[in-house]
Amino acid sequence: MSTMKETLTKNLNSSQSEAVLCTEGPLIIFAGAGTGKTRVITQRIAHLLSLGIAPWSILAVTFTNKAAAEMKKRIVDLSPQTGSNVWISTFHSFCVYFLRVEASKISLSPNFLIYDFADQKNVVKDCMKELNIDEKKFKISSIVNKISRAKDELKSPANMATDAENIGDFFGTTIAKVYELYQKKLERTGALDFGDLIMRTVSTLQQYPTLLEYYQEKYRYIMVDEYQDTNHAQYMFVKLFAGKHHNICVCGDDDQSVYSWRGADINNILDFEKDYPNSKSVKLEQNYRSTPKILSVAYQVVKHNTARINKQLWTQNPDDGSVRVLKAANENDEAAKVVNLISLNTYNNKYKLSDFAIFYRTNAQSRTFEDAFRRMGIPYTVIGTLRFYDRAEIKDIMAYLKLIHNQNDNVSFKRIINIPKRGIGKTSIETLERFALLKNISIWQAIPFAHEAGLSKGVVVALNSFAQLVKAFIELKNNASVKEITEKVITQSGYLKELETENTPESKTKIENIQELISAASDFENRSPDKSLAGYLTQVSLISDIDSFDESKGKATLMTLHLAKGLEFDNVFICGLEEGLFPIGESAYNQEELEEERRLMYVGMTRAKKHLYLCWSPERTVYGKTKWSMPSRFITEAGFKTEFAQRKQNFQNNFSQPFNKTKWSNSFNKNYSKAETVYRNDNTYDYIPPNDEITKDEPFYISDGDLSPYKIGAVVLHPVFGKGKIIEKNGIGDNLKLVILFDNGQWKKLLTRIANLTLI
């Protein structure tokens, strides 16, 4: 009869087994893409349980609800008796639990609200108005992000102000003032934002040693998934919980650290062995997802990074896939080619639509693909655009529910006070808000003093009527279910009636959405142990973009590369691979930013199981401006000889010997003039010349006895684009066109007679 240990390790490779069986002391698992990371984490927890470790002494944290739910399911399957008692959640979910339990110790209401990004922007906007800060000079979203990053670094408004003053940063000093007022408003409302959840948890544990010791004893075994994505606040959270017993296991991949823009610090994983000198390190390098070819080209890219732990993935999977570079004329041609390929491969039943994913660097790139899918009548889904809970009508109803839960929520109050219309105008609300601010109370608390605030009799009556409506809903809170409360809000508030009266296609869609909200509330009650309104509001606030992804829906998937982590598809298209777009902007001139862009490319490439397409186009219209670009360096780093490199070699070969126009023309006609669309035996295609050497492009010509001063390789200066090098010529005389590679990485095609170029 096999032991539990043998059962758990039976289907594991040697490195996986080593990680699973290591239970005491610090452990870092460098888990490459597709190496069975989730299996290792869950089977390690199951092994701890088999050793008699109490399930409630294990704390496992990750970054998405989807990942946490998958881990929980697997652990319960492996350990049916005790697995359900292991705490597995996201960082933020655990911190909500901690702060609600310990609220009385830290002068916090256990009924605190959680503000999302839209709520934060509304509060910051109010702060800027009070501080007389010009919104045109200081963007609201930028200030919100700066405040969030400060909280990620555990910096208070005073810390931010000091940092800014030390370097003479006027912008930082201004943000620090907004940050200070912003926090006061949140405290007055009884609300926290996402940054507060972890920051307040860490500060509480630091301020109360007895409380810290209690939780260190309670959770003696700590496991952290995706450790490369932790920010400083999360790093301190982990360090505090593991500070006594040091039974800390972190799992992640430095090659997939792509969230520095939201505070993630790759040094947390790179320096783990310095933080825990007696730690054990295990590398998972056997990949179970991709073909050898895909892994090879992905490694060729990521190996150019210097900030990484040396490792290289390998696999025993058959090498039956492909990696191809797909060139298009422009962004519309790119979309048409990609969607046509998807259509071809689903028409012959080789793949399902859900086996295809299109990745891109920016959300704006999705439009052309959506247009192409719609034209061909192919179902698709876009991940990361407008979430269900971000729709205006859903946020309206949720604002009612938030106000029922916490009447001091000024943000929700202002959103719904005149929805549906009650004759309470913007000026009246601003007057009441100023009065509330003067009295240091919430707007809700100011309603009984509306007449004193100077509001008209009609507005006072309307405000009191609204207050009675909300009070009636509040009375339901302790006796009715979330679904029942939601239904009554939708009907008794008059919201549904106003939409029905409007009777437009848009209003009908909104009605469908709020009916779906009722279903969502019902689903919550069926699945959640905490069936309270507070529990529902917390769950909704912690939903991430990727939590909505459902691969079983039978649709092709579109998403940004940042959302692709943790997913896998048989066929992956990485689109927009041009310098300036990916790698994006000025990142090519900053080593740290470039390495993160390269890691993002690696993430995208390693999502592919069978076929990987690297797509680019020399011409692309972005935000209404058409530009010419070079293929991304990631294509050449992957080992592909790009068209530009091939043509440059052709030129060098031509100029290395006396030029023979007839010979060159015959060569051109043979190799390029008959280029056409070629279908290959794996049902992929590209524009391939007969010799399968390079992609067909616009013909270029060299004049016999070229008298032009613009020579290949000459350096020129353009009044707008700056300095660049001529890499290609086309035509003669007034029709002479040059392709110039400028120092900013872009290349442009210019007509010499109007380009105003200066030879250097």
Active-site pick, 327, 414, 607, 610: 607
Q: Which of 16, 35, 37, 220 is catalytic?
A: 37
Backbone angles phi, psi at 17, to 5 degrees: -60, -40
The counts of H helices and E strands in the chain are: 31, 23
Catalytic residue flag (residue 283):
no
- Which residues, 6 or more positions from 379, have their beta carbon under 8 angstroms from its beta carbon? 353, 373, 554, 555, 556
Beta-strand runs (E) in 525-593? 556-560, 569-574
Phi first, then psi, for residue 644 (nearest 5°) are -60, -45
Is residue 38 flagged as an active site residue? Answer: yes
> Is 39 known to be catalytic?
no
> Which of these is catalytic: 38, 162, 216, 695?
38
Q: How many CB atoms lie within 10 A of CB 449?
A: 15
Dig out the tokens for 110 from the structure: 């256990």
Q: Are 91 and 61 in contact (CB under 8 A)?
A: yes
Which residues, at least 6 apart from 456, have a Cβ–Cβ distance to it below 8 Å? 428
Does 560 participate in catalysis according to the annotation? no
Q: Is 268 left (phi over 0), alpha (psi -120 to 50) or beta?
A: alpha
Residue 415 annotated among the catalytic residues of the structure? no
CB 637 within 8 A of CB 301: yes
Q: Of the listed 204, 256, 431, 642, which one is catalytic?
A: 256
Q: Which helix (H) or strand (E) holds 5?
A: helix 4-9
Catalytic one of 152, 193, 225, 393? 225
The answer to whether the beta carbons of residues 230 and 248 sit under 8 Å apart is no
**For residue 323, what are the β-bridge partners?**
612
Residue 279 makes CB contacts below 8 A (sequence gap 6+) with: 25, 26, 27, 28, 272, 273
Name the region of 34 (left: φ>0; alpha: ψ -120 to 50; beta: rest).
Answer: left
* Of residues 221, 178, 232, 235, the one with CA closest to residue 58: 221
Find out whether 408 and 188 touch, Cβ atoms under 8 Å.
yes
- With beta carbons less than 8 A apart as the criterion, state whether 363 and 563 touch: no
**Number of other residues whose CB lies within 10 A of the CB of residue 710:** 16
Q: Which one of 18, 193, 226, 331 is the catalytic residue?
A: 226
Question: Is 165 marked active-site?
Answer: no
**Positions marked active-site:** 37-38, 225-226, 256, 607
